[in-house]
Amino acid sequence: MKKIYLSVLASLAFMLAVASPDIYAPELAAPTNNQAGVAPNVELDWNAVAGQLGVHYEAQLSMDEAFTNPAVFTTELTAFRMSNLLFGTQYFWRVRAIDNQGTSDWSFSWSFTVLDQTSLSSPSNDAKKQAPNAKIRWSIVGGATHYDYQMDVVSTFDSPYAYTVSCNAETVNGLSTTAEVNTANLLFGEKHYWRVRARHTLDTSEWSASRFFTVIGEFENLEPENNANALGPDVLFEWKQISGLQKYSISLATDEQFVNVTKYDVASNSTSYIPDTLEFGTQYFWQISAIHAKDTLNAGPFSLNIVDKVSLNSPANNATNTELTPFLKWEKISGTMLYKLELASNQAMTGAFKYNVTATTTAGQEQFKVPGNILDSTKTYYWRVLAISSRDTSNWSETWNFRCVSLGVEEPAFRNGMKIYPSPATETVNIQLKSGLNGKATITLFDLLGKARIEREVQIVNGMIKDFQLGTLSNGIYMLRIDSSGVIATSKVILKR
């Protein structure tokens, strides 16, 4: 009886072994079950199974859970990429393994749904100040061969302006997860609504949800400001660049109606322009335009005024105690090539000294140093300046005057403008000037042969130089010369120790 029982157990074990499959059904990995928003070229992925020789897999894809009419794919890999799946459609899939010993059961079936539209990325909804060639971006749809974007000035996309542009997916797909393309010739100052759809050989997606943005409607950082005054004849027009243009155009006229107008075309990548040199003392009217194939953005008209004359700076008008070789200074006028300066001892400028002063490009004021031996400390001098550009000459500036510093030479009580004591001197002398001058001076003492025996810089305080040392000079007669900022006076000194 025991032998019969063991024989039955052995038979059951053999039957179970024969009934068991040689290879197990694969486990599905991705896309996950019931996953939505899958690309039309989704990759089906499952886990490998152990088997005998020649393991490979058979996958089925169907639009119904019963797999009535499935598409069948065979591969030795554990993944298979789909193509041209229909947008917005639910699919069911399953996999089984096959080796030289047999075929496994089917895996559990999973489902996924292909996305039905892409999503927009940028510009953000209601974005402002977009360029007329605004760059638009949206999420890449894997497996799409083309995208269409639609643009309109109304949200219903049915105005006469509405248009659709088709883009090759390989061209617009970036390196990241977004596709991008530059629009063109959008209307200035207008709201633009836009949306995108994806396409491949077998199907076209729904349009994405729409967004809108507004194209820039005015120039920014525009210079010069309206009614600008006292500008140089080389006026610099400036603005913030607008991309997506064919060109800028600047119109310039001397009348508000722009009857006699000059137009300047400016490159689209420019942010500034200097037109022909303008005329001194003239009011101009101007406007600027940004132009592309379908629209023009205008700004203006504005006005500006070119300076009519030079503004003097120093010495101040009616100045006194001016040195004999002063710097004459005036405000720089940009666009000037040359200045003419006249200097005379009479207001009518009769017999004036005339100088040409080349304009500088450095910062600061223009200036001219009056040469030595021109001015007289007893006189009042008048001066004026005009500017010359490549096209025009300004009016003369106002005429200003100044009087030079005096050492007192006109008063007989002071010999040659100064009084030296004691006389004769022994060790030192004091020097008194008529004016209450303060400042530095250079004293030189010459012998009768004209040889300089002493030269020393001294300080003048209230017109006095006290205790000037005569050093080791021998007894005799010497000539003392004092030079203060170009004012020179000479007197005799007698030395007797």
Q: Do 299 and 218 form a contact (C-beta atoms < 8 A)?
A: yes
Q: What is the pTM of this model?
A: 0.72
Q: What is the pLDDT of residues 128-171, one digit of tens each?
A: 999 999 999 999 999 999 999 999 999 999 999 999 999 999 88
Q: Amino acid identity, residue 301?
A: P
Q: Let me know if the fold of 229-305 is the same as that of 312-404.
A: yes
- 1-30 average pLDDT score: 57
Strands 146-152 and 163-168: antiparallel
Residue 41 pLDDT greater than 50, yes or no:
yes
Contact 327, 368 (CB under 8 A): yes
* CATH class for the region spanning 418-495: mainly beta
Does 339 score more than 70 pLDDT?
yes
pLDDT of residue 13: 40
Question: Which pLDDT score, from 0 to 100, does residue 405 have?
Answer: 66
User: 1.10.760.10, 3.40.50.620, 3.30.420.40, 2.60.40.10: which CATH number matches 20-114?
Assistant: 2.60.40.10
**Gap between the Cα atoms of 384 and 63, Å rounded:** 96
Residue 1: count of CB within 10 angstroms of its CB: 4
Banded pLDDT at 5 (limits 50, 70, 90): very low
Q: Where are the domains of the chain?
A: 20-114, 120-215, 229-305, 312-404, 418-495
Q: Cα separation of 434 and 437, whole Å? A: 8
The structure tokens listed for 466 are 């006290």
Residue 37, SS3 per DSSP: strand
Lowest mean pLDDT among 197-201, 230-234, 323-327: 323-327
Instruction: Indicate the burial class of 44 (C-beta count within 10 angstroms; 0-12, 13-18, 19 or more).
Output: buried
List, in order, residues 6 or more apart from 385 with CB less than 8 Å away.
310, 312, 328, 330, 339, 340, 341, 342, 357, 396, 397
Place of tokens 């949800």: 209
What the block records as the tokens of 130 is 């977009």
CA angle 481, 440, 462 (to 5 degrees): 95
Is residue 175 very low, low, confident or very high in pLDDT (cuts 50, 70, 90)?
Answer: low
Q: Which CATH superfamily is domain 229-305 in?
A: Immunoglobulins (2.60.40.10)
pLDDT (0 to 100) of residue 486? 65
Segment 433-442 shows an average pLDDT of: 80
**What is the pLDDT, as a whole number, of residue 417?**
63
Our measurement of the distance from residue 386's CA atom to the centroid of its chain's CA atoms, rounded to an integer in Å, reads 36
Tokens of 241: 């660049």
The average pLDDT across 336-360 equals: 96
Mind listing the pLDDT tens digit for each residue in 57-85? 999 999 999 999 999 999 999 999 999 99
Per-residue pLDDT band for 118 (boundaries 50, 70, 90) equals very high
Residue (of 305, 294, 239) closest to 268 by Cα position: 239
| pLDDT confidence band for 377 (50 / 70 / 90) | confident
Reduced to 3 states, what is the DSSP secondary structure of residue 237? strand
Tell me the C-alpha distance between 45 and 13, whole Å.
36
| CA pair distance 438, 419, nearest whole angstrom | 16
Nearest of 311, 321, 320, 376 to residue 343 by alpha carbon: 376
Both structure tokens of 200: 């491949």
SS3 7: helix
Tell me 116's DSSP state. Answer: S
Q: Which residues contact 146 (CB under 8 A, 6 or more apart)?
A: 166, 167, 168, 169, 198, 199, 200
Q: Which CATH architecture has domain 120-215?
A: Sandwich (2.60)
Helices (H) and strands (E) in the chain, counts: 2, 39
Strand partners, 181: 136
Which residues sit opposite 330 in a β-bridge? Answer: 312, 366
Cis upstream peptide for 371 (omega within 30°): no
Give me the chain's average pLDDT, please: 90
Of 402, 399, 468, which Cα lies nearest the Cα of 433? 468
What is the C-alpha to C-alpha distance for residues 160 and 34, in angstroms, rounded to an integer? 43
Helix (H, G, I), strand (E, B) or coil at 6: helix
What's the mean pLDDT in 439-466?
A: 89
Per DSSP, the residues of 406-469 read --STT-TTSBTTEEEESSSBSSEEEEEESS---EEEEEEEE-TTS-EEEEEEEEEBTTEEEEEE
Beta strands 146-152 and 191-199 are: antiparallel
Q: Write down the architecture of domain 312-404 according to CATH.
A: Sandwich (2.60)
Q: Tell which wins on pLDDT, 153 or 17.
A: 153
Question: What does the alpha-carbon distance between residue 107 and residue 430 come to, in Å, rounded to a whole number?
Answer: 123
Cβ atoms of 192 and 216 within 8 Å: the answer is: no
